[in-house]
Amino acid sequence: MSHSSPDHRTPTTPSGRSRLSIPGSGLAKGLAVTLRTMTKRTVTEQYPDAQPELPPRSRGVIGLFEENCTVCMLCARECPDWCIYIDSHKETVPAAAPGGRERSRNVLDRFAIDFSLCMYCGICIEVCPFDALFWSPEFEYAETDIRDLTHERDKLREWMWTVPAPPALDPGAEDPKELVAARKAADKLAVQQEAARTAETHADEQARAAEQPTRPMGDSRQQAEQSEEEGRE
């Protein structure tokens, strides 16, 4: 078959050197490939019976962590096909301290994504400054009516539970910023406590007569928050 074709040339190696081959060896190789494949495990996943193993960053559906949402509307405005619907109203929050000014804040009334329009570009998730939108690998939400594909906030909130934990960092990667900041704060606190303790023992040695009250723990938490903010800057 192959050796009977008129345009048959001796096969060459990648270096260009021609090598001799037994006529029909290519045919035998083909048979060997199919036979070997038959003995190997198949790659078929029997989907409805067995769930597929999806990679952690699969783009199945968009979940809404509505506690984080500030109704800034960035997602709705950046969405290329305008499939995000947001309604909100303004509420006045009484002043925190006596004599202070009243604050107003937005309260989310409706958050809906029309998945019949969504093209899964993920721009809304990228653009959300408050981490309120997440990719979930959940993909089984087909409907028989296209109008049922507009999912409201309760459904989007439900999908939040299916969002996997963020994948672990690569070995040797830089620590995430919040971790660095928290560690810095904790270190600072430890140094302060150490200093306080030495000061305490010093004071004890100096004058046992004078009874100084020990520092309450409530203070140290405030300090930690302060130092954390310093660490961010």
Partner 1 sequence: MNDVLDVTLRLLIVFVVFLTFPLIVGQTEHKVMAHMQGRLGPMYAGGFHGWAQLVADGVKFAQKEDVVPADADRRIFQLAPAVALLPYLLVLLAIPVGPGEGAVGQVIDAGIFFVLAVMGVGVLGSFMAGWSSANKFSLLGGLRTAAQLLAYELPMLLTAASVAMAAGTVSLVGILDAFEWWWLPWQIVGAIIFFVAGLAELQRPPFDMPVADSEIIFGAYTEYTGLRFALFLLAEYAGIVVLCGLTTVLFLGGWHGPWGADGLGWVWTLLKTAVLAFVVIWLRVTYPRLREDQLQKLSWTLLVPLSLAQIALTGIVKVVIQ
Binding residues for partner 1 (CB under 8 A) = 1, 4-5, 27, 30-31, 33-35, 37-38, 40, 42-44, 46
What minimum distance in Å lies between the beta carbon of 41 and partner 1? 8
* Closest separation in Å from C-beta 87 to partner 1: 46
Minimum Å gap between C-beta 27 and partner 1 is 7
CA distances from 122 to 135, 141, 154, 221 (A): 8, 18, 20, 38
- Shortest gap between Cβ of 140 and partner 1 (angstroms)? 19
Smaller CB separation from partner 1, 33 or 107:
33
If the CB atoms of residues 27 and 146 are measured against partner 1, the closer one turns out to be 27
**Cβ distance to partner 1 smaller for residue 3 or 105:** 3
Distance CA 179, CA 182 (A): 5
Nearer to partner 1, 42 or 92 (CB): 42
Give whichever of 23 and 80 is closer to partner 1, judged by the CB atom.
23
The annotation status of 83 as a binding-site residue, yes or no, is: no
Residue 4 or 10: which CB sits closer to partner 1? 4
Q: What is the largest CA-CA distance in the chain?
A: 113
Given a contact cutoff of 8 angstroms between Cβ atoms, the answer to whether 61 and 159 are in contact is yes
What whole-number distance in Å separates Cα of residue 27 and Cα of residue 50?
Answer: 38
- Does 69 appear as a known binding residue? yes
- Minimal distance, residue 5 CB to partner 1, in Å: 6
Are 231 and 180 spatial neighbours (Cβ–Cβ below 8 Å)?
yes
Closest contact distance (angstroms) between CB of 38 and partner 1 is 5
Residue numbers in the known binding site for [4Fe-4S] cluster are 69, 72, 75, 79, 118, 121, 124, 128
Residue numbers in the known binding site are 69, 72, 75, 79, 118, 121, 124, 128
